[in-house]
Chains A and B, each alone.
Chain A
Amino acid sequence: MKNSEKMLAKIKSRKVEQVPKWRFWVKNILFCMLFLFSIKFGSLAFAVVLFAIDSAEFDILSHVTHSKIEFLLSILPILWILFIVVFLFGAVQLFKKTKTGYRYSPILIVGGSFVLSIVLGTLLFFAGGGEKLEQKFADKVSFYESIEEKKIKRWSMPEKGFLSGIIIKKEENIIIEDLNGKQWEIDFSEAEVKKRLSLKKDEKIKIIGKILEDNIFVAEEIRPWKGRMRQGRRQNNEIHD
């Protein structure tokens, strides 16, 4: 018996059935879709990282009197950076599993996926997707401390020179109620006040300065609660609304 006949006999005796063509299509489409999902999630994570960087206020580093490394670690969105790495790795592995994915060099796949995630992530960030996702994530995941919560913490340390609150009265000085409900009189006579601020009642502000007395805070600089980019986006949304 020839080997070819033996092979044929094996196919017939084992009743080997052919895998239908559609299964290969579905498998390939599935990998392509999972790849795109990984890119999408990577982009969302990148949008959150941009949101975190936008909220980070690196320029206050010079005013930080306690550990600068601790401060940097507290503002770096490590979890989201980790998400980017995981989804990027996933995207690369999934792309390689598509029908012709193996033909492309790993550098090209990693680079391409990274660029795609950056472009989509940046678009999502400007559309407000990063902020929304981060907020939703914080609502769902109890142990996660949101960027906003970290920011509140950062700006609730008057003894270290960082105070925030809502203006409740404006006279010669302004009176604010901080985020813990305590009232402060703010001496801003020598403070640099950001142009975007009007210092009107109900305006939420951040102040860099120092405590003079128990409830008197001398401001060196006053900023609006939201960063320039986020405020710009909010204004745009308001115009569209």
Chain B
Amino acid sequence: MNPKKNWCDQFSDTELVKKSLENVDCFTCIYERYEKRLVYYILRISSFSLAEAEEVLQESFVKAWQNLNEFDEDLKFSSWIYRIVHNTTISEWKKTQSKGKDRKQEWDEDLFQNLPSLIDVQEDFNKNFDKKNIRNVLELMPEKYREVLVLQFLEEKNYQEISDILKKPSGTVATLINRAKSKFRQMALKKQISF
């Protein structure tokens, strides 16, 4: 029997992890808490369809449950779960590419409805940004740049969190973000996309 949402809400992530270790049913609380943003995240860093993204998320959570004892309270749970989802997505995405599937998904207009406020305060992401154009440019970016831009500007993660998700030092993350922003600008100019 799955726990009710109200019951789940009274616990923090760490408390839910402890409860999940005792009773796997409690793991659904964590799943539901993160489901929406992680599905968006998968879609932002890959070109999976929504159904595929949900499948990838489920697989990521199965892995997460299997390795739940690895979770350390020194780390934010969100960073830990993002890391697993990130790695699973990249690995699954590479598998589909190696199978020769030419994946160029049509973007769902509602998919990016929650583009965060951080974007519009960034110099590089003009106030009058066009969500579709951002997506188009992001799609053209190399994976290493796209993932940091998505994490910082769309997922609103700070440097430390990005460092924990990608398992890279904060300094490297900062450098990647700077390069990614400049690459983003170049790509936008090249494609004659203005924001």
Contacts and interface: CB of A to CB of B under 8 A. Distances in A.
Given A4-B32, A102-B167, A24 B70 contact: yes
Chain A interface helix/strand/loop/mixed: helix
B2 interface: yes
Interface in A57-108: 99-100, 102-106
A80 to B, nearest CB: 31
Contacts of A3: 31, 35, 54, 57-58
A6 B58 CA distance: 8
Given A102-B168, A103-B163, A105-B172, A4 B72 contact: no
Chain B interface helix/strand/loop/mixed: helix
A105 B171 contact: yes
Nearest to A24: B70
B81 to A, nearest CB: 13
Given A4-B31, A8-B25, A103-B170, A14 B58 contact: no
A11 B72 contact: no
B21 interface: yes
A6 B35 CA distance: 13
Chain B, interface size category, equals: 20 to 34
Interface residues of A, number: 26
A111 to B, nearest CB: 13
A4 B65 CA distance: 13
Contacts of A103: 163-164, 169-170
A8 B163 contact: no
A240 interface: no
B22 to A, nearest CB: 11
B140 interface: no
B28 A16 contact: no
Contact of B169 (A4, A8, A99, A104): A104
A19 B61 contact: no
